[in-house]
């Protein structure tokens, strides 16, 4: 993983990662504390801050990622361009841009806030729970993805019709449709009516 100012403070001097902390929030998204990442996802789940990114190419196609098979949570499933958790005190916008580069090797040419959504999605495969207050972002990508193999197994650009076909046959993350539906007004504004979102 590339070392950035945001990640440098979360790595120890011997190169091993410290426990990753998430921001716990109340129902209004106000920070109320922190919790270790895995413990926040164990049933029944603790409400924490997260983000989801949806990037589109010049043709209005959505960049999907298939999560790496080695991930402890939702491995091998397809999902939106990038999602994750800000570090405590890190702005969601900064976290979204940071993780998009770390996971996919691209920086959005445009990134805009698209609202928030709160959900509770248990993951049937792992038993973990996504209890999240999620900040949504939409944007444009003009460079070819160069994914980190430890994070991303595969990427694909899809039109709405291609997404519907893929969603019918492949496994997607438990939260995917919730975050996509919440982001749709901003997606339509970004991509225009001809893209069909």
**CA-CA distance, 137 to 21, in Å (whole number)?**
22
Q: Residues 102, 103, 132, 151: which is the catalytic one?
A: 132
Residue among 185, 27, 181, 191 nearest 114 (CA): 185
Residue 99 token pair: 């993780």
Residue 44, preceding peptide bond in cis (omega within 30° of 0): yes
Is 83 a known active-site residue? Answer: yes
Whether 60 and 195 have beta carbons less than 8 Å apart is answered as yes
Number of alpha carbons in the 13 Å side-chain half-sphere of residue 74: 24
**CA-CA distance, 50 to 66, in Å (whole number)?**
19
Q: Residues 82, 83, 102, 103: which is the catalytic one?
A: 83
Give me the active site residues, please. 83, 132
């Amino acid at each position: 993983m590339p070392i950035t100012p945001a990640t440098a403070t979360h790595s120890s001097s011997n190169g091993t990662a410290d426990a990753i902390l998430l921001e716990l929030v109340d129902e209004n998204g106000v920070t109320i504390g922190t919790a270790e990442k895995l413990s926040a996802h164990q049933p029944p789940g603790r409400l924490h801050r997260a983000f989801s990114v949806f990037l589109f190419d010049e043709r209005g196609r959505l960049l999907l990622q298939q999560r790496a098979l080695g991930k402890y949570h939702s491995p091998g499933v397809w999902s939106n361009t990038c999602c994750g958790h800000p570090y405590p005190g890190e702005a969601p916008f900064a976290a979204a841009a940071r993780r998009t580069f770390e996971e996919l090797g691209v920086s959005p040419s445009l990134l805009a806030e698209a609202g928030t959504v709160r959900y509770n999605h248990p993951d049937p495969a792992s038993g973990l729970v996504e209890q999240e207050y999620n900040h949504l972002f939409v944007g444009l990508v003009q460079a070819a993805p160069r994914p980190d193999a430890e994070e991303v197994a595969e990427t694909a650009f899809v039109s709405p019709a291609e997404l519907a076909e893929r969603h019918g046959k492949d496994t997607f993350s438990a939260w995917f449709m919730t975050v996509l539906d919440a982001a749709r007004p901003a997606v339509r504004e970004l991509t225009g009516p001809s893209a069909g979102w």
